[in-house]
């Protein structure tokens, strides 16, 4: 007899607003399951404050204590539950499986065209509506016309897998028109055609910009746009200890580093990409801004990680992800000012959740208008990156193009992305 859907994922909301919600997942195990679950938690705007992982290789039991960021965020807990259940290996009766999105094949891509009058925060307002409707942005092209109008092209997928229905498409356009008000001129939503493939390619990035954007090291030089502000310079501190004596069957990985809202996802993403299985893990609460993790791990073949080269490679990639999960620079593109944000994608091809949302929110908070924006992929020698490019409107909001003003923009965007 299969487990009931209600038993696979349990969500117990906190009794008070300051108490975390407890998410419990009890299902068959699979490689990368923890990463997939935490990724979806992050997509719903939630921060993992604590966590416990346990598996015998066949069945897993995961408990996550989560809180919304920001605290006033309204969370669709039923939607989250369905999303988490869809990540779990099949242990459900056919009736329940028919109620869940089909994750075995790539979802269809739809093209959303929004034509409107321009105003500050416009792109973020559209992005917020899409997030609330569980629509994920895959690619973006934003263009401002000389007469002050904006054409937004969003290539999106639907986690509910309902955009093929007229009701879902009309509901999406209705929500967008309501959010934009009188600024909205038209809204169209249709299945994407060959134009999506043309958006996959990315205009070239100069060698100098690529060197800075994809560098493994955080800059401490004042004239480089990734330079850290003094109060967050301790982000460069991280400790990883590999212990093969504590357990006869597992390698113990002990991690301590500065906390940020996507930290657990970043660590589990590397474990997934390296085919590392976590038999038991404990994620402690943040203490004075630092997070500690104890992970009992082993290789895909069930053996401990004894080879020093493998240990060094794993620790090196983990440190890179913990210290510098997102790259943010600001530069000149001809006469214009351009903000670039990059993050490495999973080997599965999935990018990091809510990056476009966070960047547009930061720029809206600063009162800076976006003249154009696009999202694409860029490949380096060892990985693929998702790159976001924002051409800033110097006539509205961008009050200064001095080096100090640009560094302030980078600092605000980075803090928003990291949840600081």
Per residue of the chain (420 residues), give pLDDT as tens. Answer: 455 667 899 999 988 878 999 999 999 999 899 999 999 999 999 999 999 999 988 999 999 999 998 888 889 999 999 999 999 987 555 444 445 554 556 789 999 999 999 888 889 999 999 999 999 988 888 888 888 889 999 999 999 999 999 999 999 999 999 999 999 999 999 998 876 655 555 557 888 888 888 876 654 444 455 555 555 555 567 899 999 999 999 999 999 999 999 999 999 999 999 999 999 999 999 998 899 999 999 999 989 999 999 999 999 999 988 888 999 999 887 778 899 999 999 998 888 999 999 999 999 999 998 888 888 888 888 889 999 999 998 666 565 567 788 889 999 999 999 998
Q: What is the pLDDT of residue 43?
A: 94
Structure tokens at 140: 């973006």
Q: Which residue has the tokens 């590999």?
A: 242
Q: CA quadruple 222, 257, 18, 414: dihedral positive or negative? A: positive
- Find out whether 193 and 133 touch, Cβ atoms under 8 Å: no
What residues have CB less than 8 Å from 328, skipping those under 6 apart? Answer: 225, 226, 339, 340, 341, 410, 413, 414, 417
Query: Hunting for tokens 């113990």 — which residue is that?
Result: 252
Is there a contact between 414 and 261 (Cβ–Cβ < 8 Å)?
A: no
Indicate if the alpha-carbon torsion angle 229, 231, 237, 238 is positive or negative: negative
pLDDT at 106: 75
pLDDT of residue 212: 86
Q: How far apart are CA 99 and CA 161, in angstroms?
A: 11
Q: How many Cα atoms within 13 Å fall on the side-chain side of residue 237?
A: 11
Rounded to whole angstroms, the Cα distance separating 384 from 202 reads 12
At residue 311, what are phi and psi to the nearest 5 degrees?
Answer: -65, -45
Our CA angle for 202, 218, 378, nearest 5°, is 15
Share of the chain above pLDDT 90, in %: 59
Measured in degrees and rounded to the nearest 5, phi and psi for residue 20 equal -70, 155
- pLDDT recorded at residue 334: 74
pLDDT value at residue 23: 97
- CA proximity to 75, closest of 177, 83, 9: 83
| CA angle, residues 179, 40, 213, in degrees to nearest 5 | 85
Q: Report the pLDDT value the prediction gives residue 199, as an integer from 0 to 100.
A: 55
* pLDDT at site 3: 57
Nearest CA-CA partner of 404 in 229, 217, 218: 229
């Amino acid at each position: 007899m299969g487990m009931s859907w209600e038993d696979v994922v349990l969500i117990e909301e906190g009794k008070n607003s300051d108490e975390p919600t407890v998410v419990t997942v009890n299902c068959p195990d699979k490689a990368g399951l923890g990463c997939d679950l935490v990724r979806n938690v992050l997509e719903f705007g939630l921060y993992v404050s604590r966590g416990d992982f346990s598996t015998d290789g066949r069945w897993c039991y995961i408990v996550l204590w989560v809180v919304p960021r920001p605290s006033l965020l309204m969370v669709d807990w039923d939607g989250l539950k369905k999303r988490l259940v869809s990540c779990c290996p099949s242990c459900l009766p056919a009736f329940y499986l028919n109620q869940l999105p089909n994750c075995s094949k790539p979802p269809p891509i739809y093209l959303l065209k929004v034509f409107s009058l321009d105003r500050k925060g416009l792109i973020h307002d559209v992005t917020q509506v899409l997030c609330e409707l569980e629509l994920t942005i895959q690619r973006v092209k934003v263009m401002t016309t000389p007469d002050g109008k904006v054409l937004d092209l969003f290539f999106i997928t639907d986690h509910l897998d309902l955009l093929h229905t007229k009701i879902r498409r009309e509901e999406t356009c209705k929500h967008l028109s309501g959010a934009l008000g009188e600024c909205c001129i038209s809204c169209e939503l249709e299945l994407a055609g060959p134009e999506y493939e043309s958006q996959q390619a990315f205009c070239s990035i100069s060698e100098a910009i690529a060197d800075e954007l994809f560098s493994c090291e955080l800059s401490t030089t004042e004239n480089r746009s990734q330079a850290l502000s003094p109060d967050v310079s301790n982000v460069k501190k991280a400790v990883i200890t590999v212990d093969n004596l504590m357990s006869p069957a597992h390698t113990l990985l002990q991690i301590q580093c500065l906390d940020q809202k996507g930290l657990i996802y970043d660590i589990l993403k590397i474990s997934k990409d390296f085919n590392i299985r976590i038999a038991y893990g404990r994620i402690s609460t943040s203490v004075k801004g630092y997070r500690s993790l104890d992970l009992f791990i082993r290789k895909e073949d069930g053996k401990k990680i004894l080879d020093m080269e493998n240990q060094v490679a794993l620790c090196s990639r983990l440190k890179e992800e913990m210290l510098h999960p997102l790259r943010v620079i600001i530069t000149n593109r001809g006469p214009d000012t351009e903000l670039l944000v990059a993050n490495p994608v999973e080997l599965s091809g999935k990018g990091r959740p809510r990056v476009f949302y966070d960047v547009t929110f930061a720029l809206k908070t600063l009162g800076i208008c976006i003249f154009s924006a696009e999202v694409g992929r860029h490949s380096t020698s060892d990985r693929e990156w998702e790159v976001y490019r924002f051409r800033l409107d110097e006539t509205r909001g961008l009050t200064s193009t001095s080096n100090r003003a640009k560094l302030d923009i980078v600092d605000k965007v980075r803090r928003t992305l990291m949840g600081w």
